[in-house]
Structure 1
Amino acid sequence: MRKKRKSYNPNNISTWFEEDRPREKLLLKGKSALSDAELIAILIGSGTFEMSAVDVGKRIMGSVGNNINALAKLNVPDLTQIKGIGDAKAITIVAAIELGRRRSDILTNKKRKINGSQSVYLEMRQYLLDKANEEFWILLLNRGNYVMKALQVSVGGVSGTVADVKMIFKLAIENLASSLILVHNHPSGQLIPSHADKLLTLQIKEAGQLLDLPILDHMIFTDDGFYSFLDDGEL
């Protein structure tokens, strides 16, 4: 007797034609063939009574304008506001995005030389990309302008953070840095330095001159670009 073919239910992934199921599609056509929603469907594993996992994935992507960078800014509470997403699924999505970020920002053990503002921006992406709050960091360099380490100085709100000048130079001296670069992010994407930014830069620059720890640049970091005080003649 001929085996009866399983009926097709568009809301049940297990009854999809094989090449259309996300997992099978990945195996048959490769990961690049899957949409963002299908990749999310694989992560969350199941949908709801009314929606398939892919439908939930589409809803998630629709909530951020189908923008992966915007999705990366969401935290667990944000994701659980979306129908079909509980804590476990939200945690899985956040963890997957963080792994992707870490993979893309893996740096080799080879010492990295800072030779301009673009290299500062690339160095700091691993620390400041997708951050919702403003943070202040210092990039410590040796005499050859090679990166020693990046250190977080403070974390603030969405529109500002406080940088303690004494803490900045304490960290630089303890790590035997020869020079340093100041970096803080603007989650708003605003690339114009505020009056407070300019005053702080001048204050730290003058302190660095007294301590023989020159400030080579102060960068305002955003996900889409940067402002360099040095490049703009402000330092």
Structure 2
Amino acid sequence: MEIYDKHQHLAIHSWAEEDRPREKLLTQGRRALTDAELIAILIGSGSRNESAVELSRRILSEANHDLNELSKFTVQDLCRFKGIGEAKAITIVAALELGRRRQETPLHERKQITSSRDVFDVLKPKYSDLNNEEFWILLLNQANRVQRVHLISKGGRAGTVVDAKLVFEAALQYKATSIILSHNHPSGNLKPSEQDRVLTRKIVEGGRLLDIRVLDHLIFANHSYYSFSDEGEL
């Protein structure tokens, strides 16, 4: 029994060669693709007599199979290849330029969290001058370095509704090993409410089931903060 693609009504083994790099990327990951296959994805299609992959191999051959050489090709140089129009040439040039800029971009080491003060420093800009309540979390890796700062909810001056499922959805999506909770009190009161304590316990317990540690919960108010961990409430 043959497997058919619902869009083209062709068996998978009959797909055009230019369609295969996309499938390969989806099933095996980007690192499994050759340079020619990656370029083929950029240009999308070849010609009646030549697939996108074959065309990409021909272009690479002219660049001595050297991406640094290929990056020197202009739009006009690429347009000399049969099957490459201006739009495809611009796409290749733009992609190579992005790669060049990435090499020039310095790697910024992600902030490592070692104390509640570190959390305060990372999140303070999020809460500065807010007149409404918001709930943000830090997603951390195994080394307690910040992978992402993620907004869970926004509310009014009196509070915001926090769905614990959204907290863990974000943690799982970004493969966080641990998380830190935070919200602000526009009233200026640093003391946690009973609701704050209940929510914190709920998320801590949920984290245990998923093997995701909740390291702290900070309340921001008046340019200061309250740490559940520092106060022994976790």
TM-score, normalization: structure 2? 0.54
Which residue number corresponds to residue 9 of structure 1? none
Amino acid at match of 2:190: L
Which residue number corresponds to residue 174 of structure 2? 175
Runs of 4+ in 1 over 6 A off after TM superposition: none
- Residue correspondences, number: 128
Which residue number corresponds to residue 209 of structure 1? 208
The answer as to whether partners of 1:129 and 1:222 remain within 8 angstroms in 2 is no
SS in structure 1 of the partner of residue 126 of structure 2:
helix
The answer as to whether partners of 1:205 and 1:214 remain within 8 angstroms in 2 is yes
C-alpha distance in structure 1 between counterparts of 2:230 and 2:162, whole Å: 22
SS in structure 1 of the partner of residue 191 of structure 2:
coil
Unmatched runs of 5 consecutive residues or more in structure 1: 1-107
C-alpha distance in structure 2 between counterparts of 1:134 and 1:156, whole Å: 5
Larger radius of gyration: 2
Which residue number corresponds to residue 85 of structure 1? none
Which residue number corresponds to residue 193 of structure 1? 192
Which residue number corresponds to residue 152 of structure 1? 151
- Per the TM alignment, residue 231 of structure 1 is displaced from its structure 2 partner at its CA by 0.3
Which residue number corresponds to residue 227 of structure 2? 228
2:218 equivalent to 1:219: yes
C-alpha distance in structure 1 between counterparts of 2:152 and 2:205, whole Å: 19
- Per the TM alignment, residue 217 of structure 1 is displaced from its structure 2 partner at its CA by 0.3
Which residue number corresponds to residue 124 of structure 2? 125
String of CA shifts for 1:157-195, please: whole Å, max 9, x gaps: 102001100110001100010000000011111100000
1:132-143 equivalences in 2 (<5 Å): 132-143=131-142
Amino acid at match of 2:223: D
Cα RMSD (Å)? 1.1
C-alpha distance in structure 1 between counterparts of 2:172 and 2:207, whole Å: 11
SS in structure 2 of the partner of residue 231 of structure 1:
coil
C-alpha distance in structure 2 between counterparts of 1:196 and 1:187, whole Å: 16
Amino acid at match of 2:201: L
Amino acid at match of 1:149: R
C-alpha distance in structure 2 between counterparts of 1:219 and 1:177, whole Å: 18
TM-score, normalization: structure 1? 0.53
Identity of paired residues, percent? 47
- Per the TM alignment, residue 222 of structure 1 is displaced from its structure 2 partner at its CA by 1.8
C-alpha distance in structure 2 between counterparts of 1:223 and 1:129, whole Å: 9
C-alpha distance in structure 2 between counterparts of 1:178 and 1:150, whole Å: 14
C-alpha distance in structure 1 between counterparts of 2:213 and 2:190, whole Å: 24
String of CA shifts for 1:102-161, please: whole Å, max 9, x gaps: xxxxxx922110001000000001211111100011100000000001100000110200
SS in structure 1 of the partner of residue 205 of structure 2:
helix
SS in structure 2 of the partner of residue 208 of structure 1:
helix
C-alpha distance in structure 1 between counterparts of 2:114 and 2:158, whole Å: 30
C-alpha distance in structure 2 between counterparts of 1:122 and 1:144, whole Å: 18
C-alpha distance in structure 2 between counterparts of 1:111 and 1:157, whole Å: 32
Unmatched runs of 5 consecutive residues or more in structure 2: 1-106
